[in-house]
Structure 1
Amino acid sequence: MKAPFQYDPETVRRILQSPSDFSFQKESEITSISTASGMVEPGSLFVPLRGNRDGHEFILDALKKGASYFLCEKDHPILEKLSSEQRSKAIQVKDTLLALGKLATFHRSRFNPILIAVTGSSGKTTTKEILSSCLSPLEEGLLVTEKNYNNEIGVPFTLFKINSKTRYVVCEMGMNHAGEISRLTKMARPDYSLITTIGTAHIELLGSRKGIAKAKAEVLEGMNKGGVLFYPETGEYKNFLKRRCLRFGIKFKSVPLKRRIEILETNREGFKISFLNSILDWSLPGIKLLENLALCISLLEEVGTPTEWIQNGIENFRAGDKRLNLQVGNYKILNDTYNANRESMLSSLEACSQISGEEGFYAVLGDMKEVGNYSRKFHNEIGSFAAGLKNCKGVFLFGTEFSHALKSFRKKANQGLLSFSFPGDEEGLKNLVDTIRKEVPPGAYLLAKASRGMRLERAVEELNSKTNGS
């Protein structure tokens, strides 16, 4: 990742309280910051991070490409391999990831845009995109998290892009362990926050729904005093969040769907809705997305967004790639392969049931990851729920965890419904595609939904490719 970053090296050293074990060359300028050596350019500050590989291995490559300086963990062996001239460009720190966050925190503190944080177990990115659509008339005055860059690397790079022209920032915050949102919110200092839902995503790592609620509530720890937290009226842990808001001096707003949006009609395309004296067709099915839309409307009104902006933004909104998109080819595939947890899986099944109507649909479902000891319970619940949908014609289950749900589906399903299970490997994927081609007529509705790690989009691409052998 790369972002503009114009600071003199001594300021960077001061922010990071960097020791000076080597002679330091302080004459060069810094114009950008990057964690990827391939994106380094003359004037870059290179930040090596530890991941599948140690980013320190790429320091020499970054220097060859013109990096002015680089961060380096103190006493890292790479320092012994560098020449004295190269070492003079080192800014030593205890932890490069924490240092990245400190630099982002400092940069954020120099500006005063209205910052909106968006978090939740599911629906974060879609909610962020709705807000972005409604605030788009701000043009360069609006800064929005790119893609789903919502972690301890992505959030700093959003903050680095704040400048004197930035009036609003919509910052998505994700997490998979306790303490992560705490660090992100203290960097970003939100004025307003949305929690879309408290579900079961990452329950393996957080232990329970209550553990997840506590982790999401960490967003309050960095909010500016007098800020506002928005949460759905139907959401669980409302009282818990209210108490946390009182502790941090934050206002709590519980948003009821019916007070913000009137559903005039439910149809296969979505809903005809009325809001803010406007009537339009909302082309995304599923009640949960409407609840998130209500959150957005409530927040946008709170910050004084012109009604016309909200109306136009919602009317023109389109969901991003791999998020509940209907792709028409050999089959009509509702492609929701971006991610999955219990709540989003149920929501997508409900949405596909609404879209397909009397034609019915087939569910192509891959394993949900990071559910730990809840795995069998959750996958069985999904199987039973699918079987209970009147227009679900069958399921194609992909992965080890979902193999256990086959019995749950068959137990509840009417006779004659298709049900197959496949291992989550390459051969299983091939057999999944071949079986769908054999058993499902062309033009039928399919829901494709799985955790990102299952790479179920490969099946979607194959099924709708021109070389489909059906």
Structure 2
Amino acid sequence: MLDPRAVPFDAALHPDARPALRLTWDSREAGPDTAFVALPGERMHGNAFVDAALAAGAPFVLTDLAVPRALRVPDARTALFAWARAERTHAPLVVGITGSAGKTTAKSYAAAALGALSMPVYNTMPAIACFLIERGRAGQPLVVEMGIDRPGEMAELVDLVRPDVGVVTSIGPAHLEQLGSIENIAREKGGILQGARGLVGAQAAAYYPGADSYGFGPVTFAGEGLRVTPEGARFAFAGVPVFLPYAAQVQAEAAVLGLVLAREAGVALPDAAARLRGVQVPGGRYTVHPGSITVIDDAYNASPVAVRAALDALQALPGRRISVLGRMLELGPTERALHAEVGAYARQRADVTYGVGAFAAELGDRAFATVPELTAALLADLRPGDVVLVKASRGISWTPDRRAQEGVGLDTVVQALLKAREQVSASGPAAADL
């Protein structure tokens, strides 16, 4: 329980405040078991939603307002982070993971191998703080995803999380709008390695000379005999066989990371390997849907490093390989050139290439302005045995001068493909309605 009477900072506590099971900074999630933290936002302050959280039954509200059930402090954000730092000290092991691509995948496999708790999809500082407060005393290792998009942010995250083990999965052009260059990205993300046991993925090893590396090939901790088939990835680590259903090399590398962490934490490797087999990464992150047409749903987000890795996985599969790519966000003034490079790579790895939205022509030979136009053409071209990779950035990002960049929501393409493949006959191409 999260007891507002036992917080590690001075606060004025309303007599009706009571313990909670969870914390949230989103008033829509507040309820009888979930307390609300009123934080400042870019457009509105969380104080504007305190009444809604109280009406929903929040056990207490961390705020500077004099309201019922208030845990009243001068600055809710400062108090939240102080609370998180205090609770983090009770965790037996904390692993922090960052990188230009593969963070969520690495987090999922590391947590499974360790038998650890991992935070959900959000990786903002308030989300991490709430996770540390909720789980710090659980008596299990914690795995924390630590994403950044501006200079100085990793230092703030490290101060909050203080990871015992810091991991960098990969380095590549991502968030260039704020970070400026790959060298800056490597330097900023490398902050996670300072003062911690450091591990870096094979792709990132060149940026961190002397750091222990993991993966396959010439690395410090290597998996052996990697084989990727339509059924999944097989390899061995320290003599222990590993099988990951419907996985590719990126997932296998994350599994090696998990096994390294498990061995160093004294976890039996056969037990860790057995748990790895059941890992389920959150939707949109290289999820393979086998069938008459194999659909690879990697539509949650995209960067040049991540797209290249997905294309490598696509090439390893049998069948007519089709790539469906959309815009990658936050690439700065070089974004057209980077999209062209990714498109050229797609043409090497796929038999048919589609592009949509901004930079569609750079990304694919079959270029479309809108997702509905692309979807109609793609569905009309499907054949039994096709393998279709769908990948792009989604949502909206902001440039340093506050210009909006809009991604491409290709999750609708995935949904249409999953529906349409049941209508594809074994006799040849068949059109399917949207």
Residue 5 of structure 2 is aligned to residue 8 of structure 1: yes
Q: How does 1:100-179 map to 2 (within 5 A)?
A: 100-109=80-89, 111-136=90-115, 142-146=116-120, 148-179=121-152
1:97 aligns with 2:43: no
Letter paired with 1:344: A
C-alpha displacement at 1:36, in angstroms? Answer: 2.6
- 1:461 aligned partner: 415
Q: Secondary structure at the match of 2:67?
A: helix
Name the counterpart of 1:368.
Answer: 328
Which residue, out of 86, 97, 101, partners 2:67? 86
Q: Is residue 27 from structure 1 mapped to residue 15 from structure 2 by the alignment?
A: yes
* Distance across 2 between alignment mates of 1:306 and 1:378: 43
Greater fraction of residues in helix? 1
Query: Normalized against structure 2, the TM-score is what?
Result: 0.84
Q: Matches of 2:136 and 2:287 in 1, distance apart?
A: 34
Distance 1:239 1:230, change over 3 A: closer
Q: Is the 8 A contact 2:63 2:70 kept in 1?
A: no
Structure 2 residue runs of 5 or longer lacking an equivalent are: 396-407, 424-431
Q: Which residue of 2 aligns with 1:388?
A: 348
Whichever residue aligns with residue 420 of structure 1, its letter is: R
Which of 422, 425, 433 aligns to 2:375? It is: 433
Distance 1:285 1:68 in 2: 43
Deviation at 1:441, TM superposition (A): 2.6
Contact 1:31–1:44 (CA<8 Å) still a contact in 2?
A: no
Q: How far 1:121 sits from its partner (Å)?
A: 1.2
Do the aligned residues in 1 keep the contact of 2:355 with 2:366 (CA within 8 Å)?
yes
- Cα 1:421–1:105 change in 2 (3 A) is same
Instruction: List 4+ stretches of structure 1 deviating above 6 A.
Output: none
User: Letter of the aligned partner of 1:40 in structure 2?
Assistant: A
1:286-337 deviation digits (Å, cap 9, x = unpaired)? 4444333333222222222112222212333344422212224673211111
Secondary structure of the corresponding residue to residue 8 of structure 1: helix
Cα shift readout 1:376-429 (whole Å, capped 9, x = no counterpart): 11111111112223xx221110111333445xxxxxxxxxxxx22122xxxx11
Q: CA deviation at 1:207?
A: 0.2
Q: CA–CA distance in 2 between the matches of 1:320 and 1:277?
A: 29
For 2:387 and 2:292, locate their aligned partners in 1 and report how far apart those are by CA, in whole Å.
10
**CA deviations over 1:42-99 (Å, ceiling 9, x no partner):** 58653123255432211122233444653446xxxxx6xxxxx7389462434x4343
Render the CA deviation track for 1:196-248: whole Å, top value 9, x for unaligned: 11122212220001111122122245x4xxx41111345254446x5xxxxxx
Q: Which runs of 5+ in 1 are unaligned?
A: 19-23, 74-78, 80-84, 137-141, 243-251, 407-418
Checking the alignment, whether the CA contact within 8 Å between 1:152 and 1:180 is kept in structure 2 is no
CA contact (8 A) 1:40 1:66 kept: yes
Bigger radius of gyration among the two: 1
**Amino acid of the residue matched to residue 57 of structure 1?**
A
Instruction: Give the equivalent residue in structure 1 for 2:160.
Output: 187
Give the superposition deviation at 1:173. Answer: 1.3
The farther-off stretch of 459-468 and 343-352 is 459-468
Q: Which residue of 2 aligns with 1:447?
A: 389
* Structure 2 Cα separation of the partners of residues 118 and 51 of structure 1: 26
Cα gap change, 1:285 to 1:256, in 2 (>3 Å): closer
Give 1:230's aligned residue. Answer: 199
Q: Structure 2 CA distance, aligned partners of 1:340 and 1:97?
A: 31
Corresponding residue of 1:216: 189
1:442 Cα deviation after fit: 4.8
Whole-angstrom CA distance in 2 between matches of 1:446 and 1:43: 43
Worse-matched range after superposition: 63-72 or 49-58: 63-72
1:331–1:444: 8 Å Cα contact kept in structure 2?
Answer: yes
Residue 452 of structure 1 aligns to a residue in which SS?
coil
Question: Would you say 1:207 and 2:180 are equivalent positions?
Answer: yes
**Aligned sequence identity (%):** 24
Structure 2 equivalent of residue 58 of structure 1: 49
User: How far off is 1:143 after superposition?
Assistant: 2.0
Q: Is the 8 A contact 1:363 1:394 kept in 2?
A: yes
User: What residue in structure 2 maps to residue 410 of structure 1?
Assistant: none
Q: Deviations over 1:154-198 (max 9, x none)?
A: 211210122544131111111212222222222222111211111
Cα 1:204–1:443 shift into 2, 3 Å: same
Give, in angstroms, the shift of residue 462 of structure 1: 1.8
1:85-132 CA-partner distances (Å, limit 9, x unpaired): 7389462434x43432222112223x1411111111111111111122
Task: Tell which deviates more after alignment, 438-447 or 455-464.
Answer: 438-447
Distance 1:30 1:450, change over 3 A: same
- Paired position in structure 1 for 2:214: 255
| Contact 1:376–1:405 (CA under 8 A) maintained in structure 2 | no
